[in-house]
Amino acid sequence: MRIPKPQVEIVATGRYLPERVLTNFDLEQMVDTTDEWIRERTGIRERRIAEPEMLTAEMGKRAACQAMERAGIHPGEVDVLIVATATPDRWLPATACDMQALLGATNAAAFDVQAACTGFLYALVVAEGYLVAGRGEIALVVSTEKMSAITDWSDRSTCVLFGDGAGAAVLRRANDFRGILSSYLRSDGRLGDLLYRPAGGTKIPLNHHVLDEKEHLLRMEGREVFKAAVRSMAEAADIALQRAGLRAGDVDLLIPHQANVRIIEATAKYAGIPSEKVYVNVDRYGNMSSATLPIALDEALERGRIRMGSNVLLVGFGAGFTWGSMVLRW
Ligand code: UT7
């Protein structure tokens, strides 16, 4: 099959991680759990937690500034700012608009994308379409998540899993072989109640009962999510590779959503990609929802795991359910 010519490339990436580290041993003091259980079932050792006053928009701004500096662009040159987040600072306006003000990206159209943990891939695909349609030259895509703010810290089945962080990417029209070779996005809204926040929106507005029952915080049927995540990410990996005209053996680095090391290993196995070609940082950061992929991409670049000409496969899965994938030629 012919390899498609990329129309849009990622020029540079950036990340921000809060300084505060919460270890499994810290969690042992908070809920009925053990370091051993968390490591064996999830692969997580520690995660970063933002200070209470830290804003989702501010974390995103810090990642975005690093990406823009590396790309050699000023905030005023950004034509579109797309923020993927499941943890907005407020319902209105969009976190992207708050971030736009913090950045001084005054010439941009700014809006949020909500696709939970798959948000970075959804935002990249929207940005790609925006640029290909000729609506602008430079897109800034930011995934920023303050998962600690929607975590029920008394629920041991979820509170051990999540962390905070932000990642960013600067995109522009491609003019050679580098860039987005293919992508694939899917969702299945029938499975929404397996990973969700029951209340706090317009359906069940915040009230004393909601707060007492912690219905405004995240709930999850872990086992069901686990099975769907492996199935969907394996499918997504396969389809993005087919669309890029590549085979598993052509992949130089697989960057899967970092929710659980067992999900990552199973996805890689189904996709036929050996473990030395799989990027893993879930042990250090836990699941940072949509921010996991850009943070892992940024780290992989910094650590030399991606070089000029590398084929990089991104695969994600999250609430909705949503899932997707993308092949990048670096
Ligand atoms: O971004 C996408 C979002 N999330 C995910 O992808 C997460 C997907 N799911 C998972 O990663 C796994 O399902 C979990 C890590 C959440 C749970 O692992 P599991 O192997 O599916 O365990 P389980 O839920 O079946 O629970 C097994 C046992 C239960 O006890 P009993 O009923 O067997 O007595 C739980 O109560 O483990 C217990 N348990 C814990 N024990 C110690 C649950 N959480 C904990 C804990 N510490 N933190």
**Domain 181-329 is of which CATH architecture?**
3-Layer(aba) Sandwich (3.40)
CA of 89 to the centre of ligand 1 (A): 29
The residues annotated as belonging to the active site are 117, 257, 287
CA of 56 to the centre of ligand 1 (A): 27
Rounded distance between C-alpha atoms, residue 45 and residue 174, angstroms: 39
- 305 C-beta closer than 6 A to ligand 1: no
The pLDDT value given to residue 175: 85
Residues whose CB is less than 8 angstroms from the CB of residue 25 and which lie 6 or more positions away in sequence, other chains included:
35
The pLDDT value given to residue 1: 64
Rg (CA), the chain: 19
- 260 C-beta closer than 6 A to ligand 1: yes
Fold of 8-176: Peroxisomal Thiolase; Chain A, domain 1 (3.40.47)
The helix, strand and coil proportions of the chain, stated in percent and rounded to the nearest 5, come to: 40, 25, 35
Reduce the DSSP state of residue 52 to 3 states and report it: coil
Rounded distance between C-alpha atoms, residue 143 and residue 253, angstroms: 21
- 228 C-beta closer than 6 A to ligand 1: no
Residue nearest to atom 29 of ligand 1 (CA): 157
Do residues 197 and 91 make contact, with C-beta atoms less than 8 angstroms apart? no
CA of 157 to the centre of ligand 1 (A): 5
Q: Which sequence spans correspond to the domains of the chain?
A: 8-176, 181-329
| Residue 133 CB neighbours (<10 A) | 8
**The two structure tokens encoding residue 93:** 């306006």
Per the DSSP assignment, residues forming a β-bridge with 317 are 323
Do residues 190 and 320 make contact, with C-beta atoms less than 8 angstroms apart? no
CA of 271 to the centre of ligand 1 (A): 24
User: Ligand 1, from 147, 152, 157: best to mutate by most atoms within 8 Å of Cβ?
Assistant: 157
User: Ligand 1, from 221, 226, 233, 287: best to mutate by most atoms within 8 Å of Cβ?
Assistant: 226
Instruction: Report the interhelical angle of 261-271 vs 222-244 (nearest 10°).
Output: 40
Q: What angle do CA 38, 39, 40 make, to 5 degrees?
A: 95
Q: What are phi and psi of 321, to 5 degrees?
A: -65, 150
Render each residue's pLDDT in the chain as its tens digit; 330 residues. 677 899 999 999 999 999 999 999 999 999 999 999 999 999 999 999 999 999 999 999 999 999 999 999 999 999 999 999 999 999 999 999 999 999 999 999 999 999 999 999 999 999 999 999 999 999 999 999 999 999 999 999 999 999 999 999 999 999 889 999 999 999 999 999 999 999 999 999 999 999 999 999 999 999 999 999 999 999 999 999 999 999 999 999 999 999 999 999 999 999 999 999 999 999 999 999 999 999 999 999 999 999 999 999 999 999 999 999 999 999
The answer to whether the predicted template modeling score (pTM) of the entire model surpasses 0.95 is: yes
CA of 48 to the centre of ligand 1 (A): 20
Per the DSSP assignment, residues forming a β-bridge with 140 are 81, 170
Residues whose CB is less than 8 angstroms from the CB of residue 330 and which lie 6 or more positions away in sequence, other chains included:
178, 306, 307, 308, 309, 310, 311, 312
Rounded distance between C-alpha atoms, residue 121 and residue 139, angstroms: 14
- 324 C-beta closer than 6 A to ligand 1: no
The pLDDT value given to residue 4: 81
- 156 C-beta closer than 6 A to ligand 1: yes
- 241 C-beta closer than 6 A to ligand 1: no
User: Ligand 1, from 23, 27, 32, 41: best to mutate by most atoms within 8 Å of Cβ?
Assistant: 41
- 157 C-beta closer than 6 A to ligand 1: yes
- 117 C-beta closer than 6 A to ligand 1: yes
The candidate with the shortest Cα–Cα distance to 180, out of 313, 310, 9, is 9
The two domains 8-176 and 181-329 share their CATH topology (first three levels equal): yes
- DSSP conformation letters of 125-189: HHHHHHHHTTS-SEEEEEEEEEGGGS--TT-HHHHTTB-EEEEEEEEEE--SS-EEEEEEEEE-G
Per the listing, tokens 């790309």 go with 71
Rounded distance between C-alpha atoms, residue 134 and residue 137, angstroms: 7
Rounded distance between C-alpha atoms, residue 311 and residue 4, angstroms: 13
**The two structure tokens encoding residue 120:** 């970075």
Q: What are phi and psi of 281, to 5 degrees?
A: -135, 10
The pLDDT value given to residue 3: 76
